[in-house]
Structure 1
Amino acid sequence: MARTPKTGEILHLRGNALSKGEPVALPLTQSSMFHLPGAPDGHPTYGRVDNPTWTQVEHVLAHLEDAPCLIFPSGMGAISAALFATVRAGSRILIPSDGYYVTRLLADRFLAPLGVSVEERPTTAFAQGGFDGFDVVFVESPSNPGLDMIDLAQVARDVRAAGGITIADNTTLTPLGQRPLDLGIDIVVASDTKAMGGHSDLLMGHVASRDAQIMERVEEWRRVSGAIPGPHEAWLLHRGLETLDVRFDRMCSSAQLLAERLADHPAVTQIRYPGLPSDPSHDLACKQSTRFGFLLTITLASEDQAEGFINNCPLLRPATSFGGVHSSAERRARWGDQVDPGFVRLSVGCEPVDELWQALNDSLNALA
């Protein structure tokens, strides 16, 4: 079983290193310049290079991942850093065809024109054909939005044996729900805009790896490209991380109960949630995940029914993204995902679960 991080320690990582009279809450360092007489070694130098607020956030993330971490101004900033730090002209990469669509756009519109060969496979058939000849294999499990899963440990072993490296997007489950590095994955990326921050008020992402050379390249990419997070956003993320454990627990527990109830609703033609024994991903989720997550999907009879369900439910925010304290939902076909027009991705928030179920049930019943 993968190591479960001691989330109680997160609340005291900073406090246990404080001197008398220092503030308990993390100060926000909003400066582009630092007082720097003499040799600069070992001190903050310039706002594009380092920032004390970043350092504290990365310290917490490193505790969660049990690996060195670097933060970026968005999840795509983290994904870009991981890819640009590991590929070059002539590289061959494999990405999921049913994962987050912006990752595919990055590969198609920016990596391919630079001489990187990009191939795609669906998550359920990702290992078919093997991994020989691939320099980088990018995986997303559960996939977004379909929630299909892949055996991360097996992929990591097979890719390493073929001479490549693996990158896993762990946004949907966070380090509290799944630990790709413990399963042998080389690099983890995540959008901390979602559950890690948790309040829908910041954009942030991170890269984590136990390979020092990879992290040196990722840090160089950040420093040279200027893909840096704002200190205020970093401060907000630090505050959000302090409540991640309680939020994530509430969201996952509620999602399990709601999935069980939604599975029996006559308006729902299909449901996906790894916590349901009937779900195709259930057995694998039990094997490699510590929680089943807060995302579920339902398919309704039509686009109109999906829009009506979302827009008429007072405890659902019709919005893109996910992982906030407010439950939200969207019809993913509107972004071009290859899903049914009535397919709805539902992100379960922190509302009292019985109140949330009543609102969802009433909205579904009103479709008849």
Structure 2
Amino acid sequence: MKKDLRFNSRTIHGGQHPDKAYGAVMPPIYQTSTYAQSSPGQHQGYEYSRSGNPTRHALEESLASIENGRFGLAFASGLAAMDAVVKLLKPGDEVLATNDLYGGSYRLFRKVFEPLGIRFRFLGMQDAEAVASAIGPETRLVWVETPTNPMMQVIDIAAVAESCRSRGVLLAVDNTFATPYLQRPLELGADIVMHSATKYLGGHSDVVAGGLVVKDKELADRLYFIQNASGAVCGPMDSFLVLRGIKTLHVRMQRHCENGRAVAEFLAGHPGVERVYWPGFPDHPNHDIAAKQMTGFGGMISFVPRGARFEDAVRIVENLRVFTLAESLGGVESLAGHPASMTHASIPKDEREKSGVTDSLIRLSVGIEDAADLTEDLERALAAMNRD
């Protein structure tokens, strides 16, 4: 019955069952490293918590349900989940990745895996035909973020998936910004969906975790082997916190989207703002694709103050009082960041600027506060840029 539930109900019930021991509605936190065996190799489904834990398994079932996949895997962080995906490859293989992506992803690719012989090419993916043309004989994986971090570029998942499928190339989509509430890449043809569950899935800025979801059993088995062998698993307490967050994902995302629109429209109409990046605007590049593959446009926004330099952008974020100046995103509280010196500082300046991540760019994660308080806060901070 639960397989037939609509999305909002799946966030609460998808893959979840009352605990067998006492009927607990929420999966208990199985804070244990090992499990008693009645005879060598004879156990009740769990033997060691790196290999499997009931609380983590409940989260993995939930992840698979909300992404409409078959198999979920929970990791210690989003980067740990990415690490497992790249470990599917071997030296000499090539990865095509979007040229606008999270700085930690870039660092993992360039500094960890490239020295091991895996090649990476970064390109703009807003033109799906350009992606198809870029796939070469050594390409084994295409890595997509959409919307991208922090320029909010929109990539046509279905079109890229078709190009990958016809060439036998895996397509992985980082769905952290959109969440399965707004976008489900597996339904559009992707092979792997990745989440930094630290963000919207957890939703309360109190946990670090990651997840993968796939449909293919052979691929799932390969990833499960890597998860167990490498050991970067999500702990039981963290699994419990992400599960708790998922149960309110749908109602939080509604408010994130409402407030995101209000803040984006405020910034677009402000004389002190030169450019706003938000997929919900009709003139945003690939807005029509966003409208087709997403059910809303989310609460992530980037903008450039008019005439701002590095120090002006810093002054603006330092003067925010309702928005908190901090790394991360997707929590109930609104956050502001300066990508060039924070989330994307690990990307060389010339590489950052090729995709539009200039020293004056500011990124906002719009929370669920009163929208009027958020726009008033931005008004005060923008005014601070012009003070003596």
TM-score range, shorter chain: over 0.9
Q: Does 1:346 align with 2:347?
A: no
Aligned partner of 1:99 in structure 2 is: 101
In the alignment, structure 2 segments of 5+ residues that lack a partner are none
Check conservation: 1:315, 1:359, Cα contact below 8 A.
Answer: yes
Are 1:72 and 2:75 counterparts? yes
Offset of 1:14 from its aligned partner?
Answer: 7.1
The SS at the match of 2:154 is coil
Contact 1:314 1:359 in 2 (8 A): yes
- What whole-Å deviation, never above 9, does each CA across 1:173-231 have from its counterpart, x for those lacking one? 01111111110011111100011101111111101111111110110001011111111
- 2:211 aligned to which of 206, 210, 213: 206
Q: Which runs of 4+ in 1 moved over 4 A?
A: 13-21
**Structure 1 residue 83: Cα displacement:** 1.5
1:145-224 superposed matches below 5 A: 145-224=150-229
- Give TM-score, length-normalised by structure 1: 0.94
Cα pair 2:128 2:159 within 8 Å, conserved:
no
Determine the structure 2 residue equivalent to 1:29: 30
Aligned residue number for residue 312 of structure 2: 305
2:272 to 246, 267, 280: 267
Q: Distance in 2 between matches of 1:34 and 1:18?
A: 17
Alignment correspondent of 1:366? 384
| Distance (whole Å) between structure 2 residues aligned to residue 5 and residue 186 of structure 1 | 22
d(CA) in 1 for partners of 2:213, 2:24: 28
Normalising by structure 2, we get a TM-score of 0.89
CA pair 4-178 structure 1, distance change in 2 beyond 3 A: farther
Contact 2:128 2:160 in 1 (8 A): no
Task: Tell me, yes or no, if structure 1 residue 124 matches structure 2 residue 122.
Answer: no
What is the CA deviation profile of residues 312-340 of structure 1, one whole-angstrom value per residue up to 9, with x for unaligned ones? 12101111111111101111111144322
What RMSD over aligned residues (CA atoms) do the two structures have, in Å? 1.9
Q: Secondary structure at the match of 1:235?
A: helix
Report the AA paired with residue 131 of structure 1: I
5+ long unaligned stretches in structure 1: none
Shifted more, 115-124 versus 276-285: the winner is: 115-124
Inter-partner Cα distance in structure 2 for 1:110 and 1:54: 27
Pairs aligned (count)? 365
Q: 1:12 to 1:230 in 2, by over 3 A?
A: same
Comparing 358-367 with 208-217, which one deviates more in the overlay? Answer: 358-367
CA shift, 1:17, in A, is 4.2
What is the distance in 2 between the residues matched to 1:256 and 1:205?
27
Residues 152-193 of structure 1: CA distance to partner in whole angstroms, max 9, x if unpaired? 101000111122111111111011111111100111111000
SS in 1 for 2:273: coil
2:239 is paired with a residue whose SS is helix
SS at match of 2:281: coil
CA distance in 1, matches of 2:35, 2:239: 18
Structure 1 residue 225 and structure 2 residue 226: aligned?
A: no
CA-to-partner distance for each residue in 1:266-288, whole Å, 9 max, x for gaps?
11111110011121131111111
User: In structure 1, the residue corresponding to 2:204 is in which secondary structure?
Assistant: coil
d(CA) in 1 for partners of 2:112, 2:276:
35
State which drifts further: 25-34 or 115-124: 115-124
The equivalent residue for 1:326 is: 333
Asked whether the 8 Å contact 1:5–1:176 carries over to 2, the reply is no
For 2:16 and 2:160, locate their aligned partners in 1 and report how far apart those are by CA, in whole Å: 39
1:57-110, Cα deviation, whole Å (9 max, x unpaired): 11211110111110000000111111212x112212211222112222222223
Distance in 1 separating the partners of 2:203 and 2:21: 31
Q: Percentage identity across aligned positions?
A: 33
Matched residue, 2:299:
294
Residues 216 and 21 of structure 1, relative CA distance in 2, 3 Å threshold: closer
CA contact (8 A) 1:308 1:367 kept: yes
The correspondence for 1:357, drawn from 359, 375, 378, is 375
